[in-house]
Structure formats: structure tokens, C-alpha cells
Amino acid sequence: MTKTALVTGATSGIGKATAQILAKNNYKIILCGRREDRLEALEKELSDFTEVHTLSFDVRDKKAVFESINSIPEAFSTIDVLINNAGNAHGLDPIQNGDLDDWDAMIDINVKGLLYVSKAIIPQMIERKSGHIINIGSIAGKEVYPNGNVYCASKHAVDALNQAMRMDLNPYGIRVGAIHPGAVETEFSEVRFKGDTEKAANVYKGFEPLHPEDIADIIHFVVSRPYHVNIADLLVLPTAQASATILKRDI
Ligand code: NDP
Ligand code: 8X3
């Protein structure tokens, strides 16, 4: 039977590539994000392969999260796979210089947003005693690096929530796992550096970073394992990266 996947942060980067690969592999897709023009363009593109529904909401807005998810039409309402991907870093400053709005954004999006979306979808998975949740963490959830402070804390929280969800949802046969990427070239650094494209490009200079499709491919592998297999936790790095701060750059 055709499965349905809901992907948050589908307007860009890892989420967009994940929606694309799942659509081409016969999943019905619910695309989520704030930028409606991008949602519409991706819906058009993926409609050649599958049925697509779009939901435009800010994961920080708990009312909007629940209203949007409750508005999903019948044909998409059984969500088999939830990809909790929406997230970003805002700023890269020492703790003493941190911007409070940046801190709010990272905690509200990466942690509370992931919780709201999960809370809106988990009850139907419990009722059916089936479902698969993939949480997108980060190497920043496994290590802390200088100036990464609040972003790292938010991704450590994702790591903790991933483990906690797996425990609490275990009695219901719901699979929960996290994928923790290292450097992936997406709009991530542009957002982190507030539109400074030169600074963002420098992050990926002198080595081949992961491409969003590399992570999407792994997500597809994870969700297509037989039911008795749950890939619980994966750290995925570019070959040139040994840790959050050790990178072999040819420059
Ligand atoms: P992008 O910036 O390319 O994509 C981020 C996505 O998140 C966009 O689709 C954006 O959509 C969505 N998003 C951001 N804020 C909100 C919000 N408030 N409400 C709803 N959606 C939101 O980055 P990536 O693809 O790289 O990031 C995806 C995930 O991967 C994030 O959780 C990130 O932390 C994680 N990650 C990224 C790494 C990297 O090096 N790129 C490495 C490790 C982890 P829109 O703006 O339309 O709302
Ligand atoms: C994104 C990767 O190293 O910038 O999560 O934290 S890093």
C-alpha cells in the first residue's frame, strides 16, 4: 500500500531532497514549510510522480501547527512517516555576545517546533500502532564546538528527544531514529550568517561537503528497511570531516 510521509522544512536543502526521493519512490507526500511559493513549485514538480499536499505553517506557532495538521485531507491523513527536519542555526557567536532573538529562534524552531509537530502526529500513530519518526539532529548534537553554544544545545536536545521518543513509543511499535549530519551544503549557512553568502560559501571551501541528496538517500534507506529493523542513530559526515572542527581542506 502507498505510504504517506510528512516532511517539515521541505522548501530547501535536506527536506526538499527527501521529499523528492520519497516522491519518486511512491510515497504520498505532505510538504511543510513557510515559503508558499517554494511549496507550490515543489508540489508541481512532484505531482508528476505522486500525490502531494502542502501545508504552510511556522513550527514555532503551536496553534498553526495543530490547525494545519488537523486540516490534512482524508487522502493524506494516515501519516506513516514523519521527517522532523525543519531547523536552522542563527548566528555563531560566543555565549557572552549571543543575540537573544537568535537563541529564541533556535530553541523555538529546532526543539519546540519538533515537539509540536510530533505531538500533533503521534496520537494517530499510537492509535494505529504503527509509524516511523525520523529526527534530523546534527553532529552539533553529538559534540559542542566553540561559538556553537545554543545551536549545539538545541541539537543535543533533539538527540535526547529522539532517545526519549523511542522509549516512550516502544510499546506501540512505532519506530524512532535520528540522522545526525555533518556539513551539508544547503541554505543552512546562509541562514546562520543572516544572508552573508560569501561567509556561507567559505564554510564549504576546500572540501566536498555532503549534498542534501546524500542525506535524503540515507533517509530513504532508513524508512525502507523491513519493519523489524529500526536504524536508531546515524552520524553521517563528509569524508573530509573528522569532527565538528576537524576538516581536511585543500586550500
Ligand atoms: P535549509 O536552510 O536549507 O532548510 C531549512 C528548512 O527548515 C527550510 O525548508 C525552512 O523552510 C525550514 N524552516 C526553518 N525555520 C522554520 C520555521 N520556523 N517553521 C517552519 N519551517 C522552518 O537547511 P538544511 O536543509 O541544512 O537543514 C535541515 C535540517 O538539517 C535542520 O534541522 C538542520 O539543523 C539540520 N542539519 C543541517 C546541516 C547542514 O550542514 N546543512 C548539518 C546537520 C544538521 P521555510 O524557511 O520555508 O519555513
Ligand atoms: C550543522 C552542522 O557543524 O554547523 O548542524 O553544526 S554544524
**Helix residue ranges, H only, 52-211:** 62-70, 100-106, 114-128, 149-169, 188-192, 197-203
When divided into structural domains, the chain yields a total of 1
Task: Flag whether 193 is in a domain.
Answer: yes
Q: Across all residues in the chain, what is the average pLDDT?
A: 98
pLDDT, tens only, 60-116? 999 999 999 999 999 999 999 999 999 999 999 999 999 999 999 999 999 999 999
Main-chain dihedrals φ then ψ at residue 224, nearest 5 degrees: -100, 10
Indicate if the pLDDT at residue 126 is higher than 90.
yes
Indicate if the pLDDT at residue 192 is higher than 90.
yes
- Residue 1: the pLDDT is 85
Indicate if the pLDDT at residue 153 is higher than 90.
yes
Task: Flag whether 244 is in a domain.
Answer: no
pLDDT above 70 as % of the chain: 100
pLDDT, tens only, 156-166? 999 999 999 99
Task: Flag whether 134 is in a domain.
Answer: yes
Nearest ligand 1 atom to the CA of 184 is 40
Q: Is 151 a catalytic residue?
A: yes
Inter-axis angle of helices 114-128 and 62-70, to 10 degrees? Answer: 30
CA-to-CA distance for 231 and 233, rounded, in angstroms? 6
Task: Flag whether 245 is in a domain.
Answer: no
The model's pTM is 0.98
Query: Looking at this protein, which amino acid is placed at residue 150?
Result: V
Question: What's the gap in Å between 47 CA and the centre of ligand 2?
Answer: 32
CA-to-CA distance for 142 and 152, rounded, in angstroms? 8
Which residue owns the Cα nearest ligand 2 atom 3?
244
- Residue 186: the pLDDT is 98
Contacts of 81 (CB under 8 A, 6+ apart): 3, 4, 5, 6, 22, 27, 131, 132, 133, 134, 223
Query: Each residue of 211-231: b (16+ CB within 10 Å) or e?
Result: bbeebbebbbebbeeeeeeeb
- Cell digits for 251? 586550500
Query: Looking at this protein, which amino acid is placed at residue 51?
Result: E
Which residue owns the Cα nearest ligand 1 atom 6?
9
Pocket of ligand 2 (CB under 6 A): 138-140, 148, 183, 244
**Average pLDDT of span 235-243:** 98
pLDDT, tens only, 27-48? 999 999 999 999 999 999 999 9
Task: Flag whether 190 is in a domain.
Answer: yes
pLDDT, tens only, 5-27? 999 999 999 999 999 999 999 99
Indicate if the pLDDT at residue 135 is higher than 90.
yes
CA 67 to chain CA centroid, Å, is 21
Domain that holds residue 133: 4-236
- Residue 251: the pLDDT is 79
Task: Flag whether 11 is in a domain.
Answer: yes
**Average pLDDT of span 206-234:** 98
**Helix residue ranges, H only, the chain:** 13-24, 36-46, 62-70, 100-106, 114-128, 149-169, 188-192, 197-203, 212-223
- Residue 87: the pLDDT is 98
Query: Looking at this protein, which amino acid is placed at residue 241?
Result: Q
Q: 87: alpha, beta or left, given left = phi > 0 and alpha = psi -120 to 50?
A: left
Task: Flag whether 173 is in a domain.
Answer: yes
Residue 55, domain CATH: 3.40.50.720
Task: Flag whether 243 is in a domain.
Answer: no
